[in-house]
Each structure stands twice: as C-alpha cells, then as structure tokens.
Structure 1
Amino acid sequence: MFRILMLCLLMTLPFSSLAEVIHKERSLYRNILVEKTGDLLCLKFNEKTRKSTQSCMYESKPKKLVFNYTKMTFASLLFINDPQNVLIIGLGGGSLSNTIHELYPSAHIENVEIDPAVIKVARDYFNFIETDNVTSKVQDGRIFIKRAALKKQKYDWIILDAFNGDYIPEHLLTKEFFAEVKSVLADGGIVAANTFSSSKLYQHESATYFDVFGDFVNVVTDENSNRIILAGFETMPSQKLLIERVNKLANKLTPYDVDLQLLSEHLFYTKGNQDWPADTKVLTDQYSPANLLNYQ
C-alpha cells in the first residue's frame, strides 16, 4: 500500500528518467540524495527498495511550490489571521518555512528536524532561509513539543510534516502526541497535518484526531492521494469569512501557485459527515501504526 501511495505522489511531479544525482550521503537515519532533472531539484530519501521524494524546487522559479500537499497546507490561512508564532515539525527542503516567512516576515518560525543532514542539504541546495525569526533545531518533534509544553510556549500555526520514507513516524500519530500538540496550540490557532487520503490507517488516524481535537476539516483535491487535516479550531469559518480571507490573500499566494479559492472549495468538515466507523480503534502509544499493519 505504501508503495502505491508513493507512486501516486511521484506521478504528480514533472520527472524524467534522466535525473542527475548532484549530492549523496548517508546520514544517521537514511541515505539522502539531491537529484536534478532539468529545472527541477529534488531531495530524496533512498530506501532499500525505492526512493521517496521529500521536497522539490524549480531553480528558475524558487517561489513556485511543486507539491500539491504543500499548496494544500495553506488552506490553514482560511482559519487564522496573521500567524506570528509558527511551528513546523519536519523540514524537508524548507519550502513551507520559506513561503511563510515571505508572506509574514515578522512571524517567528521554528523548524524542528531530527536529521541534521537534512537541514544542511536544505541550506546548501534549497535556499532554506534562516534569520533571527526563522530558526531550525535538530531534535525529535515529540521531544521538542514536550519541552515547549513545559515552558508554556504557544503557537498559532502548527504544521506536522514529518515523514520517515515509509509513513509518518508512529510516535507522531498517537492520541498522546496529539494531546501534547494541543497543549501548545494558542487560542484561535490551527494544526495542519500532512497525511494520506488512501491508506489503511485513514480511519484510525481520523478517529484519533477526532478523539483529541473534536471535529476537523479534511482538505483533499482530486490530483493526488494526500490530505491535509486541519484541527484545533474553535468554530468553522462562515462562508462570508472564507470569502473575505480568499479575497485578502489570493493575490499574495499567486506567486507560489496556491489557489486559495480552489482550496476553499475543498474543505470537508467532519461534523455530521464522519467517514469512519464509530468503533474505530484510536491510535495510542501502546497501539501504534506498526502494530496495526500486522493486525488481523
């Protein structure tokens, strides 16, 4: 199933078979490749049986976002105004961080990435921007959030985008972890999580988010198998408010190839529309995705 998911994701990109490897290294966690295909530069993790693409950038148009899921993440802006404290778990090439920084130059953005080699590659090949307001930290995302909670830190936009080459790391998919995320979410804030719309974990992930955050929104387009989960908001924005936010931000997002009007039409609220069985088992630190894959 995971191979099918990754194949669907890769098919959405303008690849050719003539990719040139311009950087290769073995990090503490994985084999890392940077490949160049024409104008397209991509960060990949080389697994035993395949390569999984983590981030891409058009060298001639570095602002233009390549992945649909990255564009879909900006549906978050339909729920919040002027985010000033942003937390991103999982760096990749840094495209999310760069775009948010350009949109909101005064915002504090903390990027948390477990693999120091990924941060170095993002700096060296993908124009990852770091300033006094935009920082990167080498740490497991769950540990970072635990410590942030102890410090009573709050974020008005939390983006969960960690990926280990197979799926989301299992300790970042549990009820206990989501409760920790919720504890550092500011009032009026939003959690945006990148996951899949076609996965044997779909129902369990949905049940787990609902257990912690209550009703949430799925952002799903017809172009690939990704979904963005938007959770933690207090109330669903009215149609009038959605239109106002689209009108305010649409032109600003155009250089990044983000169609906010289109995204506003792909918000699927779970209230009254839950698409998982009521008895679906919630993922916990004891009942993890790894266990689920072997569960009969």
Structure 2
Amino acid sequence: MRKYGGVLVHCRRDHIGIIEVVDTHGVRSLHFGTHPRQSAISLAEPEKLELSYARAMLVGLLFKPDPRKILLLGLGGGTLAKFLLNHFPACRIDAVECRAAVAEIAYEYFGLPRDERLAVHVSDGNEFVCAEADRRGAEYDHILVDVFDDEGLAEMVNQQDFFSASQRLLRPEGVLAVNLWATQTRSQRQSMGLLNLYFERRTMRLQVPGRGNVIGFGLGERVQCADMAGLKERAKTWELALGIEFPRFLRLLSYSGWR
C-alpha cells in the first residue's frame, strides 16, 4: 500500500491515534496519521541522524561535551537515543514516551537497541519531569524535548510547571533543547517566553536551515560562553567525529540575554 509517497510497512492504532511506518527511497519514517515525519532513518546507514532538526538538537554538546546522563522527552523512532548510545558509551539515557506502541515500534522497526544504559519510561512527559524534579533535583547534563502529535507541538511544552521542573532537573553545567514548530507562531512565542523566564534569558534559538523547526536552548547557570575560536574548533572536530554540521549550526545560533 502506498502512503505519503512511499510504501506502508506497518500501521496500528492505539488510544491516541494512528501510528504508521513508511519506507520511501531508502528512508524509513514514522508518522502519526499525517504527512510530517516524526522520526526517520536511512536503511543503508541506520546509525546516522537522518533529519536535520534532530542533528540541530545536539548543538548543546558544544557547550557540555561530556554527558553522563541525558533525558529524552519523546522517543519517536528512537533515533536520538540510538545515536547517543553509539557515540557516548559512558552515558546513561532516560527516554520518556507517552505511547507504549511507539516504543514498541522503535525497537521493532527502527533498530532501537535493548541496552542497559537506556531506560524507556511509558509516561506523560510533564508528569515525569515534575515528579523527578521534586524527587531528585538536578540530575541531567542534557534534556532533549521533542514532543509532537498529529496536530503539531504537544501542549505540555507550553506549561509553566514543565519548564520550571525541567530547569530544576538540569545540572548547572547542562543544556535543555526544545524542538518547536515555526508555523505555530503563538505556541513558539509562548515556549520561548517560558524558556527565557525559567532560564533567566540564558537562552539561544536556532532556525533549522530549510526546515520548519526552531530549536530553543536553555543554558544552566554555570554554562560559560567559551571563546568563539574555541567553539568553532570544537564544532569542526565534532563535525568529523559525529557527522553533524556543527559549524553551520554555530553560525546560525542567535542569543537572547545570555553572554
């Protein structure tokens, strides 16, 4: 069966809606009943990050390059989790996904490894971060938020308690990255406003080239602005090591009140 210009590989419905896996010209994509891709992998090179917005979400590694613990909100096909497991063997990852069926598909169709360093929690992301912030406090070097449904950005991203809890869960040297959607102007402004509020304007914004994604970054209170020459050198080194266009992303970063 043809779907979204490709071949429908798998389809199921859970309590939220439709979940589809589609192969198109050597790329496998995850869809939630609509054309936008929620995750994608190259079938020939499954270890690479196929989507530019996913690569852009890792810009925080330039500021905190030695992660020991990462929180992913929104598992999708598990591409970010798999990439981080491959490249950071000392790192442990908590991934939160509200749909058990999505997690099952990530393992079965997108090659997410069953690794002792990865814990997948089937839970509401907002409830998870609020509970963990109250229970643990500062825990993570990086928090990566990529939570979309079939209509766009999930509402949990625009909640004060979500940003407050995320800030408390982040270590002082850590970075929060939030995937936003440029066409949802009001929603994006609200998210960036909350990001600036709870991170006291230690924030950055990256418009992903050629895409509708905007990545918002919140920086922990101990993150220092390295000299630009040092950041550029790290970006070049990590571009070769990770296959991510960090030099280009670094040029496109815009800063708020943080210096």
Q: TM-score, with normalisation over the residues of structure 2? A: 0.91
Tell me which protein shows more strand as a share of its residues.
2
Residue equivalent to 2:102: 118
Aligned residue runs from structure 1 range 133-212, under 5 A: 133-153=117-137, 154-201=139-186, 202-212=188-198
Secondary structure (helix, strand or coil) at the match of 2:49 reads coil
Cα deviation, residue 114, structure 1: 0.3
Structure 1's unaligned 5+ residue stretches are: 1-14, 273-296
Q: Is the 8 A contact 1:130 1:136 kept in 2?
A: no
Q: Is the 8 A contact 1:32 1:44 kept in 2?
A: yes
Q: Is the 8 A contact 1:23 1:35 kept in 2?
A: yes
Alignment deviations for residues 190-234 of structure 1 (CA, whole Å, 9 cap, x no partner): 000000234322322222211111221011233112111110333
Indicate the structure (1 or 2) with the bigger Cα radius of gyration: 1
Residue equivalent to 1:269: 255
Cα RMSD of the aligned pairs, angstroms, is: 2.0
Secondary structure (helix, strand or coil) at the match of 2:149 reads coil
Size of the aligned set, in residue pairs, is 253
Structure 2's unaligned 5+ residue stretches are: none
Residue 129 in structure 1 maps to residue 117 in structure 2: no
Q: Is the 8 A contact 2:39 2:77 kept in 1?
A: yes
Q: Is the 8 A contact 1:220 1:228 kept in 2?
A: yes
Which range moves more in the overlay, 106-115 or 221-230? 221-230
Q: TM-score, with normalisation over the residues of structure 1? A: 0.80
Residue 96 in structure 1 maps to residue 85 in structure 2: no
Which range moves more in the overlay, 127-136 or 164-173? 164-173
Find the partner of 1:44 among 25, 31, 34: 31
Shift in CA distance, 17/158, structure 1 to aligned 2, threshold 3 Å: closer
Partners of 2:35 and 2:24 in 1: CA distance = 15
Residue equivalent to 1:70: 54
Partners of 1:16 and 1:24 in 2: CA distance = 11
Alignment-mate amino acid for residue 79 of structure 1: F
Cα deviation, residue 188, structure 1: 0.4
Partners of 2:6 and 2:136 in 1: CA distance = 46
Cα deviation, residue 143, structure 1: 1.4
Identity level (%): 24
Alignment-mate amino acid for residue 33 of structure 1: E
Which range moves more in the overlay, 68-77 or 119-128? 68-77
Cα deviation, residue 16, structure 1: 9.1
Find the partner of 2:10 among 19, 23, 26: 23
Q: Is the 8 A contact 1:155 1:184 kept in 2?
A: yes
